[in-house]
Amino acid sequence: MAERGASGVMGRLSTRRMTGAVGLGVAVLTAAGNALWALDQPQAGASARQIVAFYTSNSGRIIVGGSISLLAGALLVFFASGVRVLLREHTPDDLLPSAAFGGLLLVVATGLAAETINMAGALRAEHGQLSPELGRALFEVSYVLGYNAAGVGIAVLLGAIGAVAWRSTPLLPPWAALLVLLLAVAFLTPLCRFLLAPAVVLLAVVSIRLLLKAPVERSAASRPAGPG
């Protein structure tokens, strides 16, 4: 029985470590990919001329940054699986962990769509084939997908985590669970435009915490079992 218990702890240790490592990779790749071009991105409602100029002058950086973000999206699927496993430790059923997993898959889907549409605009501009009408259409669709639609997925994720934490005190204190739930609501509003960058920072912080927490659990797993 002691060996089985130690094996279970080591399995959870491995899941936490892998989830933390993948999550940190997602945060770093997302930040790096967007840093290549996002600072020059026009605001919503920009003129067609501004948008074409943006794609033309940043086409190479958009293509490279978008490719990096696509890799981050692939890693996010593994992170979503890890989050689902970890949440299962704090709830008796699979409803909320599966909702968190589904929320992250929504983020992956909308993120991939936004990046590929944005890259299509950059590729057209690179070959001198981007008309003002097409440029504006591609920009606005990718903008809504990358912010508002991705915000829906993040809201589902945070809502599920907050609900699990509200039912399970060891996961988060009640005030933190309430804060997560309020943040989930905020991601369903136009405020999501300003919350995505802090969300990437939060992902990095949570991932580092998962990595740093692992050695403590390893020492607990290697401690000799008592007489019971």
- Where along the chain do its domains lie? 2-222
Q: How far is residue 199's CA from residue 191's CA, in Å, rounded to a whole number?
A: 12
Check: CB of residue 200 under 8 Å from CB of residue 27.
yes
Q: What is the pLDDT along the chain (228 residues), one digit of tens a residue?
A: 444 444 444 455 688 999 999 999 999 999 999 999 998 999 888 899 999 999 999 999 999 999 999 999 999 999 999 999 999 999 989 999 999 999 999 999 999 999 999 999 999 999 999 999 999 999 999 999 999 999 999 999 999 999 999 988 788 888 899 999 999 999 999 999 999 999 999 999 999 998 887 544 444 444 444 444
Return the C-alpha torsion angle 131, 132, 135, 139, nearest 10: 180
Looking at residue 13, what is its pLDDT?
A: 63
The residue assigned the tokens 């990718």 is 142
The helix/strand/coil state of 92 is coil
What is this structure's pTM? 0.85
Looking at residue 12, what is its pLDDT?
A: 56
Looking at residue 96, what is its pLDDT?
A: 96
Token pair, residue 196, equals 């995505």
Looking at residue 201, what is its pLDDT?
A: 94
